[in-house]
Amino acid sequence: MTKAGKILATGIAATLLLAACTTDKTAATASNEKVVNVYNWADYIAPDTIEKFEAEYGIKVNYDLYDSSPVVDVKMLAGNSGYDVVVNSSQYSSRLTPIGVYEKLDFSRLDNIRHLDQEMIEQTDAYVGTRDYSVPYHWGTTGYAWNVELVRERLPNHPMDSADVIFDPEVVSKLADCGVTLLDGPTDLFPMVLAYLGRDPNAVDDENLAAAEAQLKLVRPYIRYFSNQKMQIDLPSQEVCVAMSWSGDYAAAANRARDAGIDIELRYTMPKEGSGLWVDGLYMPADAPHKDNAYLFMNFLMRPEIAADIVNEVNYANSNKSSREFINPEILNDPAIYPDEETWEILYPILSADPKRERPRTRAFARVKSGI
C-alpha cells in the first residue's frame, strides 16, 4: 500500500470508529432519557392515565395517535419510528413479528402480567401467534350498532340478528335515507361479508374475494360513508341509523348520547352468521430508543386499577382478571362488550393474510369504496 493509501485507510478507519462511537453515545443518551414514546389508537386510554404515569415516574410520555391500522403497518415497516410502545391490532402485528419489527419481551420485567387471564391469552394466541412479543391491551368484536327508533320506523318487523341489514341491498336500501355506514378497511369488512355469505371469513383466494366484492358492490349505492370512528358522533346525533362498528365504539356512541342528554336507544348486534374477534396488544419496536421506560409503561397499564380506569373510559374489554372488581358493572355485564358463552359460539378470529393476498383484498376494497 502506498503512503497516501495508508493515510486514506487510516482516515476512513478513524471516521468509522468515530461514527460508531457517536452512534453508541446517541443510543446511550436516548436510553437514559426520561421519555417514552407511545403510538396508540385515538380515544383508547383514560384521560388521566398518562398524567398518573408521568407523576409517579417522572417520565415524559410523548403520545401520538392514529385512526387506521394500515398506517401503523407502513410506519413500522419503514423502521426508525422512534416509538417505544405501539398498540397494534393482532391481524397486523402477526405479520410484523416474524420479520423482526417487534422485539420479544422480557416478561420478568413485567410483574403485573400475573393479573392477566391466562386462559384468554392462550385462546387468542392460538390464532394471533404473538404471545412472546406482546401484552394484551384490549379485545372486542365486530358487529353493527343501530338506532332502534329509526330502524323500526323503516323495518318494523325485520329481525336484526342478521348481517343482511348491512349486506342485503333489498334491506339496506330501506335504511339508506337514515344512513348506513361501513368500517373503512378490508380486514374487518371482508371477513364479515364472507361469513354472511356462508363462506370462510378469512378466505383471501380470488373466488372468495370476488364474491365478497360483488356483494359489497350491490349495497354500495346505499352506503352513506366508510369510517372507523365517525359513527361515534353521527349515531348519537342521529345522522346515521346503522353503523358497522367495533363493540367499544357502540358503547362510546351510547355514552356520548347520554352525556349530551339525547334520549335515544342504541343497540349493538353481533350477526348470527358470525362476528369477528380481534385483539390489540402492546408491542415494543426492535429499535425502540427507551426500552427501560417502555417496560415501565407497559407494566403500569397492567395495574388492575389503571386497567379498569381505561375500560371504564373506552368501553372495550380487557384480559386483566384482577381489574374486574374495579370495572363499572354496567360495562362488565354488557354482552356487547363482554360476550356471554352463547355468543362466543358465533365468533371467528380475524387472521392476517399473506402480503401477496392482502394486496388483492385491499385493491378489491378500494374498488368497492370508490364505486368502480
Instruction: Give the span between the Cα atoms of 204 and 129, in whole angstroms.
Output: 19
What number of other Cβ atoms are within 10 A of residue 160's Cβ? 16
User: Which of 17-26, 84-93, 183-192, 225-234 comes out lowest in average pLDDT?
Assistant: 17-26
Minimal CA–CA distance to 97: which of 367, 286, 359?
286
The whole-model pTM stands at 0.84
Please give the mean pLDDT across all residues of the chain.
90
- The reply to whether domains 34-138+279-341 and 141-277+348-370 share a CATH topology is yes
What angle separates helix 291-301 from helix 304-314, to the nearest 10 degrees? Answer: 70
In the chain, where the domains are located: 34-138+279-341, 141-277+348-370
Pick the CATH number of 141-277+348-370 from 2.30.30.90, 3.40.50.2020, 3.30.70.270, 3.40.190.10: 3.40.190.10
What's the pLDDT band for 118 if we cut at 50, 70, 90?
Answer: confident
27 in helix, strand or coil? helix
- Torsion 193-196-202-203 (CA) sign: negative
Write the DSSP symbol of residue 320: B
Cell numbers describing residue 190: 371482508
pLDDT digits (tens, 9 = 90+) for 6-36: 443 444 444 444 444 444 444 445 567 999 9
pLDDT of residue 176: 98
Pick the CATH number of 34-138+279-341 from 3.40.50.300, 3.40.190.10, 3.30.428.10, 3.40.605.10: 3.40.190.10
pLDDT of residue 66: 94
What's the pLDDT band for 77 if we cut at 50, 70, 90?
Answer: very high
What's the pLDDT band for 68 if we cut at 50, 70, 90?
Answer: confident
Highest mean pLDDT among 30-39, 63-72, 130-139, 199-208: 199-208
Residues near 128 by Cβ (< 8 Å), separated by ≥ 6? 90, 93, 94, 279, 281, 349
Minimal CA–CA distance to 251: which of 238, 275, 235?
235
Q: How far apart are the first and last CA of the chain?
A: 67
pLDDT of residue 28: 46
Length of the chain: 372
274: alpha, beta or left, given left = phi > 0 and alpha = psi -120 to 50?
A: left
Instruction: Give the span between the Cα atoms of 24 and 256, in whole angstroms.
Output: 49
What's the pLDDT band for 153 if we cut at 50, 70, 90?
Answer: very high
Complete DSSP assignment for 62-99: EEEEES-HHHHHHHHHH-----SEEEEEHHHHHHHGGG
Residue 135 reports pLDDT greater than 80 = yes
What's the pLDDT band for 91 if we cut at 50, 70, 90?
Answer: confident
What angle separates helix 206-219 from helix 186-196, to the nearest 10 degrees? Answer: 90
Instruction: Let me know if 348 is exposed, middle or buried by CB neighbors in 10 A (0-12, 13-18, 19+).
Output: buried
Instruction: Give the span between the Cα atoms of 147 and 125, in whole angstroms.
Output: 35
Summarize the confidence of residues 224-239 as an average pLDDT. Answer: 95
What's the pLDDT band for 123 if we cut at 50, 70, 90?
Answer: low
pLDDT of residue 126: 58
